């Protein structure tokens, strides 16, 4: 969406930069291709088709998802921080399903930060190999969190 809006602005400008327009159109095509893959995978999931897991570069998947979300996160004033582990082993997974999980978690983090004061709206994405052969993905946000349930007992917390 951001790329389409940028392309419109370039077209409306008196001083059109064709390379900028080409770049926006390339990004739109890449995003559409990724979205089509996600839709195909979701259809396969709904039909309960089995897919062969493949070796996946987790850091590469995260960067692809962030490319998709960058404009939206920027528009919402949400900063992104990355701490991606080096030399992580590939993960045996369905890349599209894993991307969808990462996308959902980051979108949930963004929703948790809706209305956060400036400077508190950020998401940190970290990858690490904490145990040999296991890759851990952590997403942290600056949202208010979930409030503790109220107790009907006589004890209190401060």
Q: What are phi and psi of 20, to 5 degrees?
A: -65, -40
pLDDT (0 to 100) of residue 30: 84
pLDDT at site 155: 42
Q: Is the pTM of this model over 0.75?
A: no
Q: Kindly indicate the confidence band of residue 109, based on its pLDDT and cuts at 50, 70 and 90.
A: confident
Q: Going by CATH, does the domain composed of 51-144 fall within 3.40.605.10? A: no
Give the pLDDT score at 41.
Answer: 67
pLDDT (tens digit per residue) in 131-140: 998 999 999 8
Closest CA to 124 of 90, 158, 73: 73
Instruction: List, for residues 3-51, the tens digit of each pLDDT value.
Output: 788 888 888 888 888 888 888 888 888 888 877 877 776 676 666 666 7
Q: Is the Cβ–Cβ distance between 109 and 72 less than 8 Å?
A: no
Pairing of strands 54-56, 122-131: unpaired
Which pLDDT belongs to residue 157? 42
**Per-residue pLDDT, 129:** 93
In the numeric block, the tokens 């528009």 are attached to 75
| pLDDT number for residue 50 | 66
pLDDT by residue (tens digit) across 69-105?
Answer: 777 787 788 888 889 999 999 999 888 788 888 888 8
User: In Å, how far from its chain's centre is CA 19?
Assistant: 27
Q: Which pLDDT score, from 0 to 100, does residue 91 have? A: 92
Mean pLDDT of the 113-117 span: 71
- Domain limits of the chain? 1-50, 51-144
Q: What mean pLDDT comes out for the span 130-153?
A: 75
Q: Which residue has the higher pLDDT, 116 or 64?
A: 64
């Amino acid at each position: 969406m951001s790329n389409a809006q940028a392309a419109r602005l370039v077209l409306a400008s008196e001083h059109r930069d064709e390379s900028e327009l080409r770049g926006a159109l390339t990004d739109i095509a890449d995003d559409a291709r990724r979205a089509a893959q996600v839709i195909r995978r979701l259809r396969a999931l709904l039909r309960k088709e089995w897919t062969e897991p493949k070796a996946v570069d987790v850091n590469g998947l995260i960067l692809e998802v962030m490319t998709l979300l960058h404009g939206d996160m920027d528009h919402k004033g949400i900063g992104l921080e990355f701490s991606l582990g080096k030399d992580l082993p590939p993960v045996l997974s369905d890349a599209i399903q894993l991307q969808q999980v990462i996308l959902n978690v980051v979108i949930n983090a963004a929703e948790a930060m809706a209305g956060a004061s400036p400077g508190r709206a950020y998401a940190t994405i970290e990858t690490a190999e904490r145990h040999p052969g296991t890759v851990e993905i952590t997403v942290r946000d600056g949202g208010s969190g979930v409030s503790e349930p109220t107790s009907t007992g006589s004890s209190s917390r401060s």
